[in-house]
Amino acid sequence: MRMPGKCMENKLGGYLEANRERVVGLLSKLIEIPTVNPPGENYEEMVCFLEKECKKLGLSTRKYVTPKNVLDKFGVKGGSRRISLVADLNVGANKTFHINSHYDVVPVTDKWKTDPFKAVIKGNKVYGRGSEDMKANIAGVLFALKALRCCGIRPKINLQLSFTPDEEIGGRTGLGYLVEKGFVKADYAMSEGYSGNYISMGNKGVLWAEVEVIGKSAHGSMPHKGVNSFERMNAVVNELEKLKSKILERKTRYNMRDAISKKPSFVMGGFLEGGVNVNVVPGMTKFSIDRRLIPEENIEIAKKEIEDVIKKFNAGYKDSKVNVKFVSQGSPAISRKDNAFFKIAADSIESITGKKANFSVMPGATDMRYFMWKGIPSLGYSAGGGEKWHSDNEFVCIDSLVDTAKVFALIMSRLS
């Protein structure tokens, strides 16, 4: 069925507005399956639920289990089997529009005001772990497809959805695995990103490191017989702070949503470990580095900058040893521009929000980078709340949830 653009937009929007409660109901069911990662809980239950929802929409489905050797390679231990679901609507077109969603969520603290795994609706907000990151998108995309189906609108492009695990621990055993093995197809791709009138077209690179400082333990009453690894850690942190100051002088030429994000970042101490007791000189201390790279930076050079600081430090302190291990890395990713795809996405966002779409690079990494690295035009767009991703009392705004479903429905209907 074909209809004029404005008529189609009104029909889709009307359907989604009339079904607001059903969209929220689906999101609530998703929140109430606690797919906490690490370790990766209830993945089978989630995939089973999503497969049933996809089949209701007439999609063909297939499941992929990430093998143990891949999990071992990336240090993934415990939890559920790593299952990815791929669902297709093949209309016989030459090209495919792929929409990815990750279904895992980060752990919670005891500071929540509500049960994080019971969706709580207060006014325009749905509270729950994963509500904004990113189960609202799952609900929105599925209802966008339902809107097309119920409004009798047949897409002009093949649609493929993927629901993948482990984004919260890097995505290499989820979407990264599917892309590497060629189990998914995409001529254009979308996943999570900014919300409102902002749309992401890239992200910073990420480099995670563990720094181990080895001293010599001794009795707390005789510290002269030991080498205090905690104090040496402070010294090496001071040297790394100098590197941090140098790094923060850099600035990307790419558009970012705010000025501070145009710079790289360098965070130490997100993970901190050491010492055994109050009366023992600590013989070993560890801390982490979370380094985010602007698109103009290079992973290997970023690693060398850290290694050079530590090498120089070790040369100055012969009675201790500092080791660095890089535990995860991903180069900056910028989407290859496709004028038609970008325009359709921008026009769809403007139609729903009433504001001109703003293409920006995100400071955080998303699974879209696996498509971007392959040269596939890829964008990120999400239902928004308070941008409380990973925070206590996470929520998503119902208006944004419905509007995001409208945006995806328009893009699905307009791409060809």
Phi, psi of 196 (to 5 degrees): 65, -130
State the DSSP string of 206-258. EEEEEEEEE-B-EETT-GGGSB-HHHHHHHHHHHHHHHHHHHTT---SS-BSS
Which amino acid, 68?
Answer: K
Residue 55: pLDDT band (50, 70, 90) is very high
Q: H or E segment at 268?
A: strand 265-274
CA angle 45, 71, 53 (to 5 degrees): 25
| Other CB atoms within 10 A of residue 77 CB | 10
Residue 3: pLDDT band (50, 70, 90) is low
Which amino acid, 146?
Answer: K
Gap between the Cα atoms of 184 and 376, Å rounded: 12
Which amino acid, 75?
Answer: G
pLDDT digits (tens, 9 = 90+) for 304-323: 999 999 999 999 999 999 99
Adjacent-strand bridge partners of 362 = 203
Adjacent-strand bridge partners of 101 = 163
List % helix, strand, coil for the chain (3-state, nearest 5): 40, 25, 35
Q: H or E segment at 7?
A: helix 5-18
State the DSSP string of 368-388. THHHHTTT--EEEE---BSS-
Residue 5: pLDDT band (50, 70, 90) is confident
- Among residues 202, 233, 151, the alpha carbon closest in space to that of 376 is found at 202
- Two structure tokens written together for 319: 């009675």
Indicate the angle between helix axes 43-56 and 136-150, nearest 10 degrees. Answer: 20
Q: Reduced to 3 states, what is the DSSP secondary structure of residue 304?
A: helix
pLDDT digits (tens, 9 = 90+) for 331-374: 999 999 999 999 999 999 999 999 999 999 999 899 999 999 99
- Among residues 382, 390, 363, 380, the alpha carbon closest in space to that of 130 is found at 390
| pLDDT for position 289 | 98
pLDDT digits (tens, 9 = 90+) for 28-54: 999 999 999 999 999 999 999 999 999
| pLDDT for position 1 | 43
- Among residues 353, 408, 47, 409, the alpha carbon closest in space to that of 192 is found at 408
Close Cβ partners of 287 (under 8 Å, ≥ 6 residues apart): 210, 211, 233, 237, 268, 269, 271, 272, 273
Confidence (pTM)? 0.92
Domains of the chain with CATH codes:
5-203+333-414 (3.40.630.10), 205-330 (3.30.70.360)
Q: Contact at 8 Å (CB) between 32 and 70?
A: no
pLDDT digits (tens, 9 = 90+) for 286-300: 999 999 999 999 999
- Two structure tokens written together for 404: 């995001």
Gap between the Cα atoms of 276 and 354, Å rounded: 58
Close Cβ partners of 252 (under 8 Å, ≥ 6 residues apart): 262, 263, 294, 295, 296, 361
